[in-house]
Amino acid sequence: MGNILIVEDESIIRSALKRLLERNSYKVTEAESVTEASQNDLNSFDLIISDLRLPGAPGTDLITAAKDTPVLIMTSYASMRSAVDAMKMGAVDYIAKPFDHEDMIRTVRRIIEDARSNKGAKKVPDLSDIDDEIYVAEDGNRSALGDLVGSCAPMQALYRRILRVSPADITVLIQGESGTGKELAARAIHQHSLRKDHPLVCVNCAAIPESLIESELFGHEKGSFTGATAARQGLVEAAEGGTLFLDEIGELPMEAQARLLRVLQENEVRRVGSVHARKVDVRLIAATHRNLKKLVKEGLFREDLYYRLQVIEIALPPLRERLSDVLEIADHLVSKHSRRLKIESPIRLSKEARNVMAQYDWPGNVRELENAIQRSLILADNGEITVADLGLADEDWQVPDTLVSPQESRQDVEPVSTITDDSAEDLSLEDYFQHFVVEHQDNMSETELAHKLGISRKCLWERRQRLGIPRPKKVSASASAAR
């Protein structure tokens, strides 16, 4: 079935692994160190299984020496971070010790089958050989990549990282504040990857009700739950051959995290209510505005999934850290939305408007800038956008008097907030919204919160994203009992 080299300095583990593999019809060669392993023709093996820590050189040295032969790294659970670093260096996968026999055989079989099926496929370019200059303009800088716009140094670094990461078929974690363009970065990665001719499926994990998220992502069989009148393909399967982008992955429930981990580890998905798994070929790109490390420490995000996701990390700078790009982005958005709104006469930003935009700190990042541009295009007169059209003045965001009901007129109604009239008079609409949601979200459902605020659930979610108010995690009963 396959020729495997085991590199392990502990004889007990090496012998046990050899017996396990030989029972499953694999031919096995043993070595105690990288030096001993290198005495063999490394490219003659179908797979190299190596311990991370070996006497002399570390097991990762085999990644470079083996070239086209996949290397599976073994490591203790406590050294998982080191295993992730090994994957960044080119290891095909890692497995924690002590390992489960079935997991080991399943992983070995998958790696060898994938390697054989990819031999005739187009070779992924060696990232170390890529010349950055072929991706940049004659002046040495880019002004855009896909729909990402900006010429500042942080954006130039971002473009280079995206272009280097895109051809490699590995998982990417995009981090950045709400509104910085995480989905645009994911689209740029997909457009410059070998999967660009296949679908890009974008999923916002926070926008799908928790009760439906597993069915939406992984699909379901007919009759698997009430209302499942027919079998349905999940979004993971819909991305077959292409890229699956999971935005706000920090909002993914723990049960769905376990299923997603299975997809990453075994390249297979099992629909809700099914006993059979289906093979999938999907590249995962995840994004979040939350601190996943902190969520891991709080027990709200799986540690093993976190390390699977952050093989490559990309951080998007907030707009306040690249104010030199604001006017460039604004001009791009004016042109883009003028076409969308079918505005034929040219519209330009006034000098005063440009000065205000260059000095504003844009807490909502590019999304806030885009909203301001769309608003101004509708309100602009005589082909010029003024400061007033942008709506950036503080007074534009004050709560209208008609929305601040006097306490005495509501004596027969149970109050829903502890905000007093004295504080509400000077309270902005966004401050009021944030105060109300944070105070009541533990006791109210999303539907009840939206009803009390007089807005839709979708509007409530969008404001949460813009203001950076996370939805509280609901811990399952089993998890609570375990704690």
* pLDDT 10s digits, 442-483: 888 887 787 777 777 767 777 777 777 877 765 444 444 444
The pLDDT value recorded for residue 397 is 45
The pLDDT value recorded for residue 106 is 83
The pLDDT value recorded for residue 78 is 42
Domains 3-117 and 320-392 share a fold: no
The pLDDT value recorded for residue 393 is 61
Asked if residue 200 lies in contact with residue 187, where contact means CB atoms within 8 angstroms, the answer is: yes
The pLDDT value recorded for residue 443 is 82
User: Which residues of the chain fall short of a pLDDT of 50?
Assistant: 78, 120-139, 394-398, 404-427, 475-483
In CATH, which superfamily holds the domain spanning 3-117? Answer: Response regulator (3.40.50.2300)
Q: Please report which residue ranges of 118-253 form alpha helices under DSSP H.
A: 153-165, 182-191, 213-218, 235-238
**How large is the C-alpha radius of gyration of the chain?**
27
The CATH-assigned architecture of domain 140-317 is 3-Layer(aba) Sandwich (3.40)
The pLDDT value recorded for residue 110 is 83
Distance between CA 467 and CA 374 in Å, rounded? 20
The one-letter amino acid code at 116 reads R
Q: Cα-Cα-Cα-Cα dihedral of 404, 408, 409, 415, to 10°?
A: 70
The pLDDT value recorded for residue 421 is 43
The CATH-assigned architecture of domain 320-392 is Orthogonal Bundle (1.10)
Q: What residue spans define the domains of the chain? A: 3-117, 140-317, 320-392, 402-467
Distance between CA 480 and CA 285 in Å, rounded? 30
In sequence order, the β-bridge partners of residue 71 are 48
Q: Please choose, from the candidates 442, 468, 472, 479, the residue with its C-alpha nearest in 3D space to the C-alpha of residue 302.
A: 479
Distance between CA 205 and CA 216 in Å, rounded? 10
pTM for the model stands at: 0.62
| Coil, helix or strand at residue 206 | helix
The pLDDT value recorded for residue 175 is 94
Distance between CA 348 and CA 163 in Å, rounded? 33
The pLDDT value recorded for residue 428 is 54
